[in-house]
Amino acid sequence: MDTVGLLRDLSQASGVSGYEDEVQAIVRQALEPHADTLRIDALGNLIALKRGKQADGAPTRAVMLAAHADEIGLMVKELEEGFIRFTRVGGVDVRILLGQEVVVHGERPLPGIVGSRPPHITPPEEREKIVGLDELFIDVGIPEERLSKLVHVGDIVTMRRDFLELASGCVCGKAFDDRAGVVAVVECMETLSTMDHLWDVYAVATSQEEVGLRGAMVSAYGIVPDVAIAVDVGFGAQPGVDEAESVKMDAGPAIARGPSIHPLMYEKLVATAKEHEVPHQTEIIAGRSGTDAWAIQVTREGIPCGLLSIPLRYMHTSVETVCIKDINRTARLMALFIAGLDEHFAEAMGLD
Amino acid sequence: MLLRELSEARGVSGNEGPVRDIILEAVGDLVDEHRVDAMGNLICLKKGRRQSSEQAWPRKVMIAAHLDEVGLIVTGINGDGTLRFDKVGGIDDRILLSKQVLVGQEALPGVIGYRPIHLIPRKERERVADPKKLAIDIGAADKSDAEKLVQPGNYVSFRTAFQVLDEEGLRTVKGKAFDDRVGCAMLVELLKEDYAFDLYAAFTAQEELGLRGARVAAYAINPDVAFVHEGTVCDDLPKKKDLSPVTELGKGPAITFMDRSVITDRRLVKLLVTTAEKLGIPYQFKRVVSGGTDAGAIHLTREGVPSVVVSVPSRYIHAPVSLLSLSDFDYTVKLMRAALHTLEGGLES
Amino acid sequence: MKELIKKLVEAHGPSGDEEQVRALIEEVIRGKVDQVRTDALGNLIALRRGTGGGKRVMVAAHMDEIGVVVTHVDKKGFLRVAPVGGVRPLTMVGDRVRFANGTIGVLGREKWLRVSTLPTWDQLFLDVGATSPDDVPVGVGDVASFVRPFTDLAAEPAAELHLRHKGTGKRLVSKAMDDRIGCAVAIHALMQMDASPNDVYFCFSAQEEVGTRGAVVAAFGVEPEVGLAIDVTDTGDTPEAHPMAVELGGGPAIKVMDSEMITPPSIKRWMIEAAESLGIDYQLEVLERGGTDARAIQRSRAGVPTGCLSIPCRYVHTPSEMVDYGDVQAAVRLLTELMSKEIDL
């Protein structure tokens, strides 16, 4: 599979929380060859089902893979003298916005700039302060009269960033959180096409994760899987971040462990990785993981979850950086895990 | 469009070669002589129509625009393969976060990332990020990996594409380094015309480090009169207070009466204003006295050179992406051409 | 001489806008010099040709004064201004300024958040009495200088106060003593000079207050062998002043050093010897912050031995700059002497 190509397409697509259509269209196309059914639910989750070959008489079992399709972004709040005031959708650090290029999704996509005042007219004491949202404007270079016809309050705004290939198989771009996870899920589904697996697999590109795991919550309720794996990105080691708070780049997925994770899910993921020599690492999450796993775990009567994190640098900036190999490894680990699911495991888990 | 090429070319102060090459190509047939001096200034001469025996003033007119742009330079390689850097020219640290850059002659892509918001305590998010903790990431696995690709001293430019934002009206475009590639583009336009006097087009180096190129260029040229073309500050965004916008987009060329570096020549200001009014060309004054341009160096050369600055308003200069109006650009060219022809007959006091 | 000083200080001439001062000086010195020209930056350069065998000397006194320049006219007809030269908001609130066309404006200040804080330039505005942008009689780019008349504190009081005071001082006060007093000294020396072996270029320089720009190019053009600036200097004789061994009335000051120049010992000796030969009181000046045209002349081309003859002045860069008339007269004598004799360094 062309991992880089798919990540590029997904990264360039826009899909701020609640507006994931463009991303979902690409995911649909990528999953179509590997899925038996495909549907979009009420909240915009894309759900692909690939049936397993469960033996006659055995109960139908299902595993859910969740990676979120949405990204953080901005939203038009007000038009003022030909400029656009905006607010945030999801956790955007306001400090990264100066001099950032964006796309305003008005009547048509409009390239824009979050402007910065030049140093010539910025007194030194002002440079010691952050520029708050109330002082920032998006400039699309279109005069007031026409702007008001093209852009409306509530239009979404995405970061605009070219996808770049860096040295050592790393790539950089926007929204790798969690398009990298989506790519891993697609790749896993493709790999499964060449493998036998007993359980049904629901691959879900979830919506609205960044505003509170809302897509995962409802899709898990609708699917009712026996177990689930969320795939998200983890804090890759980077300058300025404590080693204890991060995972290593180019060292495989981080398999999470903690209260949000079912212990046997963790153990089986680790055992699978070891058996097949998939590079991996462990990440301890003491409480809230901030991922879809957190929501899926408490759906209906409770669903055992696992969580894989793809190491990613500069999370929630517009230059998120990831190693392609880590995506491949994550996909492979999930596929091998799924191929290994059987009634023996179901029993050990205490599934009905 | 030449402006596109110039905007996307990389020419951080001290490393203006790529920009100079594009200009050399563009002015090839338009000039009689050219040379590159010790500072890296490109000085072109377009000979005048007038015979040297004729008594007339001015004989030599210098027009300057600077080649260089603000940027970064690699100062070292960290253990984890990321690059330490310093700023070249006036850059507000706050604009560095979350940007793509190109490193060295090979234009190696890199990024300046920042810590995930999740790991930053709320109080700290209210403070300006410490620029010392920023690094350029080229994807190298470690120091030795990075050393194969980058050396300290490599210049780093922002990675920004040129693009037309609006085809109508003010015809706005966005791109990198409009300060002062727009001046360079203007100067090339002006070279397409013939004048009675000798026109020296000086594409100067290292303006952003203190008008260093222009100083030596002007000394060598020893002009009678000088014009400087700039992409200048345009701060016409909504303001809480009714203060000067410095310049306004779409209001035509901006004429400088005074800045930190020069009090411009009254006669030249008058020449520009009367020319604009005669031809119905919109114009404005640059309404602030901060900032400096090559005119600061040129007007103090030898016995003094009457100098003036004419700029195209550009929003967000000294940041990765700036914005200007092509209609302002066209008006500026039109004004300058007419003013230069009027100047052939001398200068009214 | 006071008549000339009055005319000079009351003329309008912020940096870059020295026309009125230049015209005034040109008229006064007409016929007294062998050659006069105005250069590209507006310096007025007048030559008193020598009898031969002497040196090529440049004397510089600057015509320009500090002021403000209009940067913005707001929707209600108020103006925003920026400083021209070293003028500070401290001296501005409630002050008046005058433009070349006679327009007068008052400096106002935005709401006072704390009375104890000084406003920044951004918080000041100029009110010329307009009610909208349409009836503002000046525009962006126009410059203005302080409004303050010449006052002779030495003049006899118009009426007696009920408490009798003894004696009268010799002080003169006005705006722009910096450096019209230097211009006045130079003009008088120029007129009193007898035959001299030296070719003396009296340069009334432009744009000193924004960085000695006029003197930079004038010195290049004159290419002098010796340079001498005539300018004002601070004093240390007022209550709680920054310590400085210069006082008003102690005689003209011979600059030894300021933050921009170290006077060559040979120049210092030349000036001291002349003062002593005339028997006039002089002071030696060490100025910790400031510079004069002398710095520009000294660094011109391959370098020029340069000194500075300073007139002690209180309250420099405020609207009320005060000098001592005795110091001024002595400075004229000293400068005349320096220019008239052969210069042997």
- Whether C163 shows a pLDDT value over 70: the answer reads no
Instruction: Determine, for residues B238 and A113 on separate chains, whether the beta-carbon distance falls below 8 Å.
Output: no
pLDDT tens sequence across B136-175? 999 999 999 999 999 999 999 999 999 999 999 999 999 9
Instruction: Determine, for residues A239 and B140 on separate chains, whether the beta-carbon distance falls below 8 Å.
Output: no
Residue C111's pLDDT is what?
86
Confidence of residue C161 (pLDDT cuts 50, 70, 90): low
In terms of C-beta density within 10 A (0-12 exposed, 13-18 middle, 19 or more buried), how is residue A125 classed? Answer: exposed
Residue B56 structure tokens:
């007339």
The mean per-residue pLDDT over the stretch C55-60 comes to: 98
Rounded-to-integer distance, Cα C159 and Cα B209, Å: 62
In terms of C-beta density within 10 A (0-12 exposed, 13-18 middle, 19 or more buried), how is residue B191 classed? Answer: buried
DSSP per residue over B189-213, as a string? HHTTS--SSEEEEEEES-STTTSHH
Rounded-to-integer distance, Cα B276 and Cα B273, Å: 5
Rounded-to-integer distance, Cα A222 and Cα A218, Å: 6
- Whether C158 shows a pLDDT value over 80: the answer reads no
Q: What is the distance in angstroms between the Cα of B254 and the nearest Cα belonging to chain A?
A: 16
Residue C60's pLDDT is what?
98
Residue A39's pLDDT is what?
96
Best mutation site among A78, A95, A131 for testing chain B: the one with the most B CBs within 10 Å? A95
Q: Catalytic residue, from B8, B16, B189, B207: name it.
A: B207
- Whether C165 shows a pLDDT value over 60: the answer reads no
How many Cβ pairs within 8 Å bridge chains A and B? Answer: 217
8 A C-beta contact, residue C12 and residue C100:
yes
Closest to C40 (Cβ–Cβ): which among B263, B289, B303?
B303
pLDDT tens sequence across B177-229? 999 999 999 999 999 999 999 999 999 999 999 999 999 999 999 999 999 99
Instruction: Please identify among residues 187-216 of chain C the ones whose CB lies closer than 8 Å to any CB of chain B.
Output: 207, 210, 213-214, 216
Q: How far is CA A166 from the centre of its chain?
A: 21
Q: Which residues of B touch C82 (CB under 8 A)?
A: 288-290
Residue A316's pLDDT is what?
96
CB within 8 Å of B133: residues ≥ 6 apart: A239, A240
Instruction: Determine, for residues C122 and B243 on separate chains, whether the beta-carbon distance falls below 8 Å.
Output: yes
Q: Point out the residues of chain A with pLDDT beneath 70.
A: none
Q: Please state the pTM of the whole predicted model.
A: 0.89
Q: Which residues of C touch B258 (CB under 8 A)?
A: 16, 69, 84, 141
Instruction: Determine, for residues B118 and A318 on separate chains, whether the beta-carbon distance falls below 8 Å.
Output: no
Taking CA–CA distances from B90, the nearest residue in chain A reads A119
Q: Which residues of B touch A241 (CB under 8 A)?
A: 115-116, 119
Confidence of residue C115 (pLDDT cuts 50, 70, 90): confident
Closest to B118 (Cβ–Cβ): which among A112, A172, A315?
A315
Residue whose pair of structure tokens reads 């492979």 in the numeric block = A332
- Whether C160 shows a pLDDT value over 90: the answer reads no
Q: Which residues of B touch A99 (CB under 8 A)?
A: 95, 99, 316, 319-321
Residue B102's pLDDT is what?
98
Q: Which residues of B touch A110 (CB under 8 A)?
A: 165
Closest to B140 (Cβ–Cβ): which among A118, A141, A167?
A167
Residue A266: CA count within 13 A, CB half-sphere: 16
The mean per-residue pLDDT over the stretch B268-293 comes to: 96
Q: Pairing state of beta strands B307-315 and B254-255?
A: antiparallel
What does residue B112 show for φ and ψ, rounded to 5 degrees? Answer: -105, 105
Q: Which residues of B touch C220 (CB under 8 A)?
A: 302-304
Residue C55 structure tokens:
């040196």
Instruction: Please identify among residues 9-68 of chain A the ones whose CB lies closer than 8 Å to any CB of chain B.
Output: none
Q: Catalytic residue, from C208, C247, C260, C321: name it.
A: C208
Q: Which residues of B touch C76 (CB under 8 A)?
A: 242
Give CA separation, A97 vs A86, A149, B21, B109, B119, in Å. 11, 25, 34, 21, 18
- The proportion of chain C whose per-residue pLDDT surpasses 90, expressed as a percent, equals 86
Q: What is the distance in angstroms between the Cα of B302 and the nearest Cα belonging to chain C?
A: 6
Taking CA–CA distances from B242, the nearest residue in chain C reads C74
Query: Cis peptide leading into B58, omega within 30 of 0?
Result: yes
- The proportion of chain C whose per-residue pLDDT surpasses 70, expressed as a percent, equals 96
Residue A24's pLDDT is what?
98
Taking CA–CA distances from A248, the nearest residue in chain B reads B141
Instruction: Determine, for residues A164 and B291 on separate chains, whether the beta-carbon distance falls below 8 Å.
Output: no
Taking CA–CA distances from C217, the nearest residue in chain B reads B303
pLDDT tens sequence across B61-78? 999 999 999 999 999 999
- Whether C156 shows a pLDDT value over 80: the answer reads no
User: Which of A277-286, B52-61, C99-108 has the lowest average pLDDT?
Assistant: B52-61
Taking CA–CA distances from A91, the nearest residue in chain B reads B117
pLDDT tens sequence across C219-246? 999 999 999 999 999 999 999 998 899 9
- Whether C166 shows a pLDDT value over 90: the answer reads no
Closest to A317 (Cβ–Cβ): which among B113, B135, B159?
B113
pLDDT tens sequence across B119-138? 999 999 999 998 888 999 99
Rounded-to-integer distance, Cα A120 and Cα A98, Å: 16
Asked if A315 reaches chain B (Cβ–Cβ under 8 Å), the answer is yes
- Whether C159 shows a pLDDT value over 70: the answer reads no
Residue C223's pLDDT is what?
96
8 A C-beta contact, residue B20 and residue B67:
yes
Residue B139 structure tokens:
């994807």
Q: Which residue has the higher pLDDT, A7 or B38?
A: A7
Rounded-to-integer distance, Cα B87 and Cα C344, Å: 51
Taking CA–CA distances from A165, the nearest residue in chain B reads B109
pLDDT tens sequence across C171-227? 999 999 999 999 999 999 999 998 899 999 999 999 999 999 999 999 999 999 999
Instruction: Please identify among residues 97-126 of chain A the ones whose CB lies closer than 8 Å to any CB of chain B.
Output: 98-101, 110-113, 115-122
The mean per-residue pLDDT over the stretch C66-70 comes to: 97
- Whether C24 shows a pLDDT value over 90: the answer reads yes
8 A C-beta contact, residue C68 and residue C82:
yes
Rounded-to-integer distance, Cα B88 and Cα B104, Å: 14
* E strands in B89-197: 99-103, 108-112, 136-137, 155-158, 163-164, 172-175
Residue whose pair of structure tokens reads 């997904």 in the numeric block = A10
Give CA separation, C105 vs B127, C6, C79, C95, in Å. 41, 22, 9, 8
In terms of C-beta density within 10 A (0-12 exposed, 13-18 middle, 19 or more buried), how is residue A223 classed? Answer: buried
Beta bridge partners of C63: none
Instruction: Determine, for residues B287 and C140 on separate chains, whether the beta-carbon distance falls below 8 Å.
Output: yes
